[in-house]
Amino acid sequence: MGFIGEFKEFAMKGNVLDMAVGIIIGVAFGGIVNSLVKDIITPPLGLILGKVNFADLFLSLDGKSYASLAAAQAAGAPTINYGLFINTIINFLIVALAIFVVIRQVNAMKRKPAPPEPNTKECDFCKESIPKAAVRCPHCTSDLGD
Protein backbone atom coordinates (compact mmCIF):
# COMPACT_ATOMS: atom_id res chain seq x y z
CA MET A 1 0.00 0.00 0.00
CA GLY A 2 1.46 3.32 -1.05
CA PHE A 3 1.61 6.62 0.77
CA ILE A 4 -1.70 7.85 -0.67
CA GLY A 5 -3.47 4.62 0.26
CA GLU A 6 -2.13 4.74 3.81
CA PHE A 7 -3.12 8.39 4.16
CA LYS A 8 -6.62 7.66 2.84
CA GLU A 9 -7.00 4.79 5.34
CA PHE A 10 -5.81 7.05 8.18
CA ALA A 11 -8.04 9.97 7.18
CA MET A 12 -11.14 7.82 6.84
CA LYS A 13 -10.90 6.26 10.29
CA GLY A 14 -13.85 7.19 12.47
CA ASN A 15 -11.79 8.75 15.24
CA VAL A 16 -10.04 11.12 12.81
CA LEU A 17 -13.37 12.31 11.43
CA ASP A 18 -14.75 12.69 14.96
CA MET A 19 -11.68 14.73 15.90
CA ALA A 20 -12.14 16.99 12.85
CA VAL A 21 -15.78 17.61 13.75
CA GLY A 22 -14.74 18.33 17.34
CA ILE A 23 -12.13 20.86 16.21
CA ILE A 24 -14.63 22.66 13.96
CA ILE A 25 -17.21 22.83 16.74
CA GLY A 26 -14.49 23.94 19.16
CA VAL A 27 -13.48 26.83 16.91
CA ALA A 28 -17.11 27.94 16.59
CA PHE A 29 -17.57 27.58 20.36
CA GLY A 30 -14.40 29.67 20.86
CA GLY A 31 -15.95 32.49 18.85
CA ILE A 32 -19.07 32.37 21.01
CA VAL A 33 -17.01 32.41 24.20
CA ASN A 34 -14.89 35.32 22.95
CA SER A 35 -18.03 37.32 22.23
CA LEU A 36 -19.51 36.35 25.60
CA VAL A 37 -16.41 37.58 27.43
CA LYS A 38 -15.83 40.69 25.31
CA ASP A 39 -19.44 41.81 24.89
CA ILE A 40 -21.31 40.46 27.93
CA ILE A 41 -19.00 39.72 30.88
CA THR A 42 -16.18 42.26 30.85
CA PRO A 43 -18.31 45.42 30.40
CA PRO A 44 -20.27 44.92 33.65
CA LEU A 45 -17.14 43.63 35.38
CA GLY A 46 -15.29 46.75 34.26
CA LEU A 47 -18.18 48.92 35.46
CA ILE A 48 -18.12 47.24 38.87
CA LEU A 49 -14.34 47.78 39.06
CA GLY A 50 -14.67 51.52 38.40
CA LYS A 51 -15.49 51.83 34.69
CA VAL A 52 -12.40 49.92 33.56
CA ASN A 53 -12.19 48.75 29.95
CA PHE A 54 -9.99 45.66 30.10
CA ALA A 55 -9.09 45.98 26.42
CA ASP A 56 -7.44 49.33 27.18
CA LEU A 57 -5.36 48.13 30.13
CA PHE A 58 -1.76 48.22 29.01
CA LEU A 59 1.68 49.27 30.08
CA SER A 60 3.72 51.35 27.65
CA LEU A 61 7.37 50.30 27.62
CA ASP A 62 8.67 53.47 26.00
CA GLY A 63 7.82 55.61 29.05
CA LYS A 64 5.27 57.77 27.22
CA SER A 65 1.60 58.06 28.11
CA TYR A 66 -1.09 57.15 25.58
CA ALA A 67 -4.86 57.63 25.78
CA SER A 68 -5.62 54.09 24.65
CA LEU A 69 -4.02 50.88 23.50
CA ALA A 70 -4.99 51.72 19.93
CA ALA A 71 -3.17 55.05 20.20
CA ALA A 72 -0.05 53.37 21.59
CA GLN A 73 -0.09 50.77 18.84
CA ALA A 74 -0.61 53.45 16.19
CA ALA A 75 2.45 55.26 17.54
CA GLY A 76 4.41 51.99 17.34
CA ALA A 77 5.05 51.90 21.08
CA PRO A 78 5.95 48.55 22.64
CA THR A 79 3.26 47.60 25.14
CA ILE A 80 2.37 44.91 27.64
CA ASN A 81 -1.34 44.30 27.07
CA TYR A 82 -2.34 42.88 30.44
CA GLY A 83 -6.02 43.79 29.92
CA LEU A 84 -6.21 41.54 26.87
CA PHE A 85 -4.45 38.87 28.92
CA ILE A 86 -7.18 39.19 31.60
CA ASN A 87 -9.81 38.71 28.85
CA THR A 88 -7.97 35.60 27.66
CA ILE A 89 -7.92 34.18 31.19
CA ILE A 90 -11.67 34.80 31.50
CA ASN A 91 -12.16 33.05 28.12
CA PHE A 92 -10.18 30.07 29.35
CA LEU A 93 -12.14 29.83 32.59
CA ILE A 94 -15.47 29.93 30.74
CA VAL A 95 -14.35 27.25 28.26
CA ALA A 96 -13.03 25.07 31.10
CA LEU A 97 -16.31 25.47 32.99
CA ALA A 98 -18.38 24.65 29.89
CA ILE A 99 -16.29 21.55 29.14
CA PHE A 100 -16.59 20.45 32.78
CA VAL A 101 -20.38 20.82 32.69
CA VAL A 102 -20.69 18.93 29.39
CA ILE A 103 -18.43 16.08 30.50
CA ARG A 104 -20.23 15.87 33.82
CA GLN A 105 -23.59 15.58 32.04
CA VAL A 106 -22.28 12.98 29.59
CA ASN A 107 -20.89 10.92 32.47
CA ALA A 108 -24.21 11.21 34.31
CA MET A 109 -26.09 9.97 31.24
CA LYS A 110 -23.86 6.93 30.90
CA ARG A 111 -25.65 4.31 32.88
CA LYS A 112 -23.77 1.47 34.36
CA PRO A 113 -25.17 -1.73 32.93
CA ALA A 114 -27.11 -3.84 35.36
CA PRO A 115 -25.16 -6.85 36.51
CA PRO A 116 -26.22 -9.96 34.63
CA GLU A 117 -28.66 -12.20 36.42
CA PRO A 118 -26.77 -15.15 37.87
CA ASN A 119 -27.27 -18.41 36.02
CA THR A 120 -26.28 -20.49 39.03
CA LYS A 121 -27.78 -21.22 42.40
CA GLU A 122 -26.56 -22.79 45.61
CA CYS A 123 -27.44 -26.38 46.51
CA ASP A 124 -29.53 -26.37 49.70
CA PHE A 125 -27.71 -29.45 50.96
CA CYS A 126 -23.99 -29.16 50.10
CA LYS A 127 -23.89 -25.39 49.40
CA GLU A 128 -22.02 -25.90 46.10
CA SER A 129 -22.73 -23.68 43.09
CA ILE A 130 -24.89 -25.48 40.51
CA PRO A 131 -26.74 -24.48 37.32
CA LYS A 132 -30.02 -22.68 38.00
CA ALA A 133 -32.06 -25.20 36.01
CA ALA A 134 -30.60 -28.25 37.81
CA VAL A 135 -33.06 -30.60 39.50
CA ARG A 136 -30.35 -32.79 41.05
CA CYS A 137 -27.05 -31.59 42.54
CA PRO A 138 -24.08 -32.98 40.60
CA HIS A 139 -21.92 -32.77 43.74
CA CYS A 140 -24.03 -34.43 46.43
CA THR A 141 -26.68 -35.97 44.14
CA SER A 142 -29.48 -34.54 46.27
CA ASP A 143 -32.89 -34.15 44.68
CA LEU A 144 -33.60 -30.43 44.47
CA GLY A 145 -37.32 -30.86 43.90
CA ASP A 146 -38.90 -28.23 41.70
Average pLDDT over residues 74-83: 92
CB atoms within 10 A of CB 29: 14
Domain count, the chain: 2
Query: To the nearest 10°, the Cα dihedral for 139, 142, 143, 146?
Result: -70
With pLDDT > 70 as the criterion, what percentage of the chain qualifies? 98
User: Residues 33, 87: one domain?
Assistant: yes
Residue-level pLDDT at 79: 94
C-alpha angle with apex 41: 107 to 106, nearest 5 degrees?
5
Domain extent for 7: 3-111
Do residues 40 and 69 touch, judged by C-beta distance below 8 A?
no
Q: At what angle do helices 82-109 and 14-35 cross, to 10 degrees?
A: 130
Q: Please give the residue that has the higher pLDDT: either 60 or 8.
A: 60
Provide CB contacts within 8 A for 143, sequence distance 6+: 135, 136
Residue-level pLDDT at 16: 73
User: Residues 105, 142: one domain?
Assistant: no
> What tens digit of pLDDT does each residue of 32-75 get?
888 887 788 878 887 887 877 778 889 999 989 998 888 999 99
Residue-level pLDDT at 114: 80
Q: Residue 23 — pLDDT band, cuts 50, 70, 90?
A: confident
User: Residues 42, 89: one domain?
Assistant: yes
Provide CB contacts within 8 A for 131, sequence distance 6+: 119, 120, 121
User: Residues 85, 146: one domain?
Assistant: no
Do residues 130 and 139 touch, judged by C-beta distance below 8 A?
yes
Q: Please give the residue that has the higher pLDDT: either 5 or 71.
A: 71
Residue 133 has pLDDT above 80, yes or no: yes
Cross-strand bridge partners of residue 122: 129
